[in-house]
A and B are shown apart, each in its own frame.
Chain A
Amino acid sequence: MSAVRTPRLSGSARRLLVHGGFTAIAILYVGVLVVAPLIGIAWAALRSGLSTWTATLTQPDVVHAYVLTGIITAITVVVSTVLGVVVALVVARDRFPGRSLVSASVDLPLAVSPVIVGVMAVLLFGRGGWFEPWFAARGIQILFAVPSMVLVTIFICIPFVIREVVPVLQELGVSEEEAASTLGASSWQTFFRVTLKNIRWGLLYGIALTTARAIGEIGAVLIVSGSITGKTETATLYILRAFDQNQDASGYVVALTLALVSIALLVGIEVFKRREERELRT
């Protein structure tokens, strides 16, 4: 008589175990890799006490570092948004020879090390650089000054806007824009009244990513800025110097503030995403 072997666990119970196991692995990995360090820095920064906090945050070069980061970020966001939308429109909508080349190049700044971006800037604007004579003749300083820091940050951040806007544009198609043109709207009117409204969530998401990236930029600005304290030192450059000079406590404090700002941006991004989902669902 053949015996039917009954498994010890029923099919669905076994599946639940597998699911649970996989989920646990995922949570554990993320916990150790991502969450633990966050807890680490919170602990390190907070243990130094309130006095260290006030001392650090009122230091003139720290204040200046924050201000400089703010300025560079603001300029970057504005330029990246405008230029990013233009390039996105061309990549998503226009058909011309070489378009695929532009599309592939869009991702290049993302894949390239920021350090290389800094080297590029030095080779272009530094001593013996291709553009150096032109600027030197007019007394404009690019390298070791804010302009170069802004330029490299823009270079690094534009892809974020483009990558977020292009898929939205492609999914939307041109029919609403065509409808607007039949109703008499000029290209500008169509862009501002129809296109911009339709891409707004993707664009906001791209802007948020750009902001976070600009705040956190270190590799490229380290090379081009010369880290001149009080003049070309951003918040991130300050942190680097703090650890170099064994002022770990101040470093932790400023680092934690940047982490908090970034997480706040991330939360904002999540909110945008949820709003967008809600809009799409109704």
Chain B
Amino acid sequence: MARWGLRGTALLYLGLMIVLPTVVVVARGFGSGLSAFRDALTTPGAREAIILTVFLAAVTAVINVVFGTELAYVLVRYRFPGRRLLSTIVDIPFAIPTLVTGVMLRALYGPISPVGAFLGRHGIQVIFAQPGILLALLFVTLPLVVRTVQPVLLELDETEEEAARVLGASRWLTFRRVVFPKLRPGIVAGGLLAFARALGEFGAVVIVSGNIIGKTLTAPVLITQLINGGKPEDAAAVATLLFGLSFVLVLVTERLLPTGRKEAS
């Protein structure tokens, strides 16, 4: 009896909190017909925003896949003083409010800070420009990649690598042919998660980007502008697109690394 009570609640949760909102977004997004949907997506600001969002998310994913995997490897395989501290610092972006992240970047690279002023003199603009957005996205997605790759690394059987080295393989070769293939699903999953997260990031971006149409306006910020500007249908259209992308990414990631894998410390 208790089992059905539990199951019922879980299914109710699924229905009310997941299925229902999903359906409403898609229904309203396509509600005014496919052409209206296409129109909404191709209004000038919208196209640029979507392209910019996807582009920056992709760059973020690639950069953090490289550095995140490297970090994960260092944290798992090496021993050095401060390793624990490094691990904790990697988790900071998980805990800090995204808006505060944007504020921090603004503080560090804004015109009033020495760093920002220095960079400005050399013609590098970070705040209210794309580099700032990129830094924000990198900050926010770093732990996603590291904590996705780490458990995979931890579960690796080191004896296979030892066997390879005994057979004469160099460390690099061992990594390339024994370790990397095993890591690949984790790395890809981490990259996809980072991409999905970066696609939807709002708080960090809105403060740091200046939201300049066609230059630094991202899709999530555009959606809020549309809603606050009284155009819920257009907002729904862009949201549906973003949502569809995220949904597909979740499915693919779940296939690669199912829930239940405990995230490493």
Query: How far is the CB of B124 from the nearest CB of chain A, in Å?
Result: 14
Q: Which positions in A face B, CB cutoff 8 Å?
A: 15, 19, 22-23, 25-27, 29-30, 33-41, 43-45, 83, 86-87, 89-92, 94, 96, 98, 101-124, 126, 128-130, 154-155, 158, 162-163, 166-168, 170-171, 187-188, 209, 212, 215-219, 222-223, 236, 239-240, 243, 251-252, 255, 258-259, 262-263, 265-267, 269-270, 273, 277
Instruction: Note all chain B residues with C-beta closer than 8 A to A266.
Output: 88, 91-92, 94-95
User: Do A117 and B21 touch across chains, with their CB atoms under 8 A apart?
Assistant: yes
User: Which residues of B pack against A, CB within 8 Å?
Assistant: 1-3, 6-7, 9-11, 13-14, 17-22, 24-25, 28, 67, 70-71, 73-75, 78, 80, 82, 86, 88-101, 103-109, 112-113, 115, 135, 138-139, 142, 171, 193, 196-197, 199-203, 206-207, 220-221, 223-224, 227-228, 232, 235-236, 239, 242-243, 246-247, 249-251, 253-254, 258-263, 265
Task: Report the bound CA distance from A219 to B242 in whole Å.
Answer: 14
How many angstroms from the CA of A158 to the CA of B86 in the assembled complex?
A: 28
Contact partner of B108 (CB less than 8 A), chosen from A37, A112, A188, is A37
Residue in chain A with minimal CB distance to B68: A29
Q: Is the CB of B251 within 8 A of A255?
A: no
Question: What residue in chain B is nearest A101 (Cβ atoms)?
Answer: B14
Q: Are B227 and A119 in contact (CB under 8 A)?
A: yes
- Is the beta-carbon distance between B100 and A258 smaller than 8 angstroms? yes
Which residues of the other chain, A, contact B93 by a CB distance below 8 angstroms?
Answer: 34
Question: Which B residues touch A119, using CB under 8 A?
Answer: 25, 223, 227, 232, 235-236, 239
Cβ contact within 8 Å between B108 and A39? yes
CB of B80 within 8 A of CB of A34, answer no
Whether B107 contacts A40 by the Cβ 8 Å rule is yes
Apart from A33-B135, A98-B11, A212-B96, 6 more pairs, CB < 8 Å: A30-B142, A33-B142, A44-B107, A101-B14, A122-B227, A218-B98
Q: Which 10 residue pairs across A and B have the least CB separation, nearest first?
A: A113-B200, A216-B97, A40-B108, A37-B104, A219-B202, A44-B107, A120-B21, A90-B10, A167-B262, A187-B2
A103 touching B259 by the CB < 8 A rule?
A: yes
State the CA gap A23–B235 with chains docked (Å): 45
9 CB-based A-B contacts, threshold 8 Å: A40-B113, A45-B107, A102-B10, A122-B232, A212-B96, A239-B99, A251-B103, A258-B96, A262-B100
- A101 vs B259: C-alpha distance in the bound complex, in angstroms? 12
Q: How far is the CA of A44 from the CA of B135 in the complex (A)?
A: 19
B6–A86 touching, CB < 8 Å: yes
Q: Knowing A112-B246, A166-B260 are in contact, say whether A22-B70 is a contact too (CB < 8 A).
A: yes
Quick check: B14 and A105 within 8 Å, CB to CB?
yes
**The one of B10, B70, B207 that contacts A25, using a Cβ cutoff of 8 Å:** B70
Tell me if B259 and A26 are in contact (CB < 8 A): no
* A216 and B25 within 8 A (CB): no
Q: Evaluate whether A218 and B202 lie within 8 angstroms (CB atoms) in the complex, with A39-B108, A40-B107, A86-B10 already known.
A: yes
Q: Which residue of A26, A101, A124, A265 contacts B86 across the interface (Cβ within 8 Å)? A: A26
**Candidates B10, B232, B250; contact of A91 at CB < 8 Å:** B10
- Contacts A33-B142, A86-B9, A108-B247: A215 and B97 contacting too (C-beta < 8 A)? yes
Query: In the complex where A23-B80, A103-B259 touch, is A41 in contact with B100 (Cβ < 8 A)?
Result: yes
Distance between A88 CB and nearest chain B CB, rounded to angstroms: 9
